Amino acid sequence: MAANQRIVIVGQGLAGTCLAWRLWDRGRAIEVVDRGGLRGSSVVAAGLVSPVTGKGMNPSWRVAEFLPLAMGLYRSVEMVLGEEFFHRVPVLRLFRDGGERAKFEAKRAQLERWIEEVVEGPIAGVNAEWGGVVWKGGGWLDTQRFLEASKGYFREHGLYSEREVDADHEAANDHITVLCQGAAGLGSGPFAYLPERRAKGEILTVRILGMTEGRVLSRGGWLVPVGGGLYRAGATYAWDDLEAKPTRQAREELEGVVRTFTDAPYEVIEQLVGVRPIIRRSQPVIGPHPDRENLYVFNGLGSKGVLYAPGVAERLANHLCQGVDIEDDLSVERLGADARNPAGA
């Protein structure tokens, strides 16, 4: 791998966009290619970042490292493009009942660095009898604006083109190709051997009449205030049906999420569908193809692309530009070897 070879990035979702910025930063010759039509899951994502997630209230994997890297990249792109993309709003995790509150109290010392404030219920306009906790460092990225504005910049600098890439025949001797295809790059193509479990997800955009809550609310599902009286409610998971079509079942589930947070009347504005690129362990992977020279992958951002894409992009850029080794837990080579030899024999 020559340090001055041009790098072609296939896919302009969060992975491809963050990698493009990190390589551009280093003065590397790049080309970003996407098939267009806003088909990736990054466009659908609510953009939510929360350092602690899930029923178990566990800090996300390596969050203390990746959160500042994410904020750093979004802030620097905001400065270059003169527009705010990351909205630092409090993420309020509500407790379902006394049992969940007690569980939090038992874990509290462990979670201390991520606690901004413990909130007592009730909360005006929100079903929140048991109160909740505001996590430190959360917010949401306007992924559509971030991707659109980045694309505009890349286009202006002659770095962006729109075409469908045949990943099976893309590698060439005079450049490096990095496949950042999201779910479209899993289950088929050069990295089909990776253990994957793509998950379809749907979200609703709703207008909730009379609701003024400006924090992200989370409790099983979540509600993200996106301005203009609108909220995003999410998200469903489905593994058997990966068709990018909205379903009635998801709509009912998501309206149920809205109703858990508020009794106020609401109007459904939009239902969006995407497929999350999940690879075993739900961790991102980067690195070279085992057999095809000059072909790399950056995939597996799962449900947390906003948090991980910038820091993982930085590691891949360090590898491509300075030959820095890829850590084992991000390495596609390591994962591929494990997949081919599961018993470790």
Ligand X SMILES: Cc1cc2nc3c(=O)[nH]c(=O)nc-3n(C[C@H](O)[C@H](O)[C@H](O)COP(=O)(O)OP(=O)(O)OC[C@H]3O[C@@H](n4cnc5c(N)ncnc54)[C@H](O)[C@@H]3O)c2cc1C
Residues within the interface to ligand X (CB under 6 A): 10-16, 33-35, 39-42, 44-48, 164-165, 167, 180-184, 201-203, 234-235, 274, 276-277, 299, 301-307
Pick 134 or 165: Cβ nearer ligand X: 165
The continuous run of DSSP H or E covering 92 comes out as strand 91-94
The continuous run of DSSP H or E covering 275 comes out as strand 266-276
Shortest approach of ligand X to residue 282 CB, angstroms? 10
Pick 299 or 331: Cβ nearer ligand X: 299
How many CB atoms lie under 10 A from the CB of residue 243? Answer: 10
Shortest approach of ligand X to residue 200 CB, angstroms? 7
For residues 288 and 190, the answer to whether their CB atoms sit within 8 Å is no
- What is the C-alpha separation between 321 and 212, in angstroms, rounded? 48
Shortest approach of ligand X to residue 57 CB, angstroms? 17
Shortest approach of ligand X to residue 316 CB, angstroms? 12
**DSSP characters over 2-38:** -TT-EEEEE--SHHHHHHHHHHHHTT--EEEEE--SS
Pick 262 or 299: Cβ nearer ligand X: 299
Shortest approach of ligand X to residue 36 CB, angstroms? 7
Instruction: List the 132-135 sheet strands across, edge first.
Output: 115-119, 132-135, 91-94, 216-219, 221-227, 230-234, 199-208, 266-276
Pick 181 or 262: Cβ nearer ligand X: 181
Length of the chain in terms of residues written: 345
Pick 164 or 325: Cβ nearer ligand X: 164
Paired tokens of 249: 């079942």
